[in-house]
Amino acid sequence: MKFAAIADIHGNSLALQAVLEDIANEGIADIVNLGDFFSSPLDAEGTAELLRGIGAVSIRGNHDRWLVEQVPEEMGRSDRIAHDQLASETLDWIRTLPATMVWRDEVFLCHGTPEDDNTYWLEQVTDDGRVRSAALKDIEARAQNIEQKLILCAHTHLSRTVALADGRLIVNPGSVGCPAYIDIEPAPHKVQAGHPGACYAILEKRAAGWSVTHRQVPYDNLEMARLAMDRAAPSWAEGLATGWISNETFASIVGA
């Protein structure tokens, strides 16, 4: 059993195209998609067109949920830009997606945590806005009702594999299309991959257990950074170009 896991595309159609080509070059047919497909100042409809062609098994993320639960006037800017691009059929498709799933009886899928699509699982944010690895006991507590040996999550955009004490693995494949971002909850913070590449993971079940390969794929990230800048989204542009958010940009957004 071998498949690819993608997540957090965030409307970056060029990054998604590069990842799909890399997956095809690896000879992999099965793809699971862990949510947050469209929300960004980028190319939501182009992303939707690509997703329609691959038949991936998908769950929704927090931004996908907001696209169909909120009225446009209440949406954040990235959600509203994406919403205004998307066809009604795409929004209807989002409404059909589950928040979590057990795939092929062997893999548990969620976006944030099993209980909440908007909570970090493998990381935590301190009161002063630092992002650090969560304690293993806290990670394991959220996995106590999951029997599958492979657990996939997303949401933080950071590629990671964590082994639990009982041998189960939790894997975040990283973000296809958004390598750095700013958030204000639970405290103002920035998450940074440190590179601008498009990320995904390859999972393979072997006799000794699950093999995990984290992939980072180059693409024309500067073209997407220019698109973000053209749409007055400087933090998006900086993250797409470099994989980092400067302190100056962070302060201008959160007022720190």
| One-letter identity of residue 91 | L
The per-residue pLDDT for range 116-151, each reduced to its tens digit, is: 999 999 999 999 999 999 999 999 999 999 999 999
Query: What helix, strand, coil percent values describe the chain, rounded to 5?
Result: 35, 25, 45
**How many CB atoms sit inside 10 A of residue 119's CB?**
18
Domain extent, residue 156, equals: 2-254
First to last CA, the chain: 48
Q: Percentage of the chain with pLDDT > 90?
A: 97
CA dihedral 83, 64, 35, 217 (to 10 degrees): 30
If you average pLDDT over residues 2-6, what whole number do you get?
A: 98
Place of tokens 């795409």: 90
pLDDT tier, 171 (very low <50, low <70, confident <90, very high otherwise): very high
**Taking the model in full, what pTM does it have?**
0.96
Kind plus residue range of the DSSP H or E element containing 159:
strand 159-163
pLDDT at 255 (0 to 100): 73
Nearest to 202 by CA among 161, 253, 156: 161
Task: Identify the residue whose tokens are 């965030």.
Answer: 10
pLDDT beyond 90 at 247: yes
Tokens of 18: 């590069």
In sequence order, which residues have a C-beta less than 8 Å from that of residue 191 and are 6 or more positions away? 123, 131, 156, 157, 158, 180, 181, 183
Q: Is residue 254 over pLDDT 90?
A: no
Contact 117, 63 (CB under 8 A): no
**Residue written as token pair 């957004």:** 253
What are the tens digits of pLDDT across the range 59-97? 999 999 999 999 999 999 999 999 999 999 999 999 999
Structural domain count, the chain: 1
pLDDT at 34 over 70: yes
Residue bearing tokens 């939707």: 48
* pLDDT bracket for residue 253 (50, 70, 90): confident
Mean of pLDDT over the chain: 96
User: Tell me, what CATH number does 52's domain have?
Assistant: 3.60.21.10
In this predicted structure, the answer to whether residue 161 has a pLDDT above a threshold of 60 is yes
DSSP summary character for residue 55: -
Residue 256 has pLDDT above 60, yes or no: no
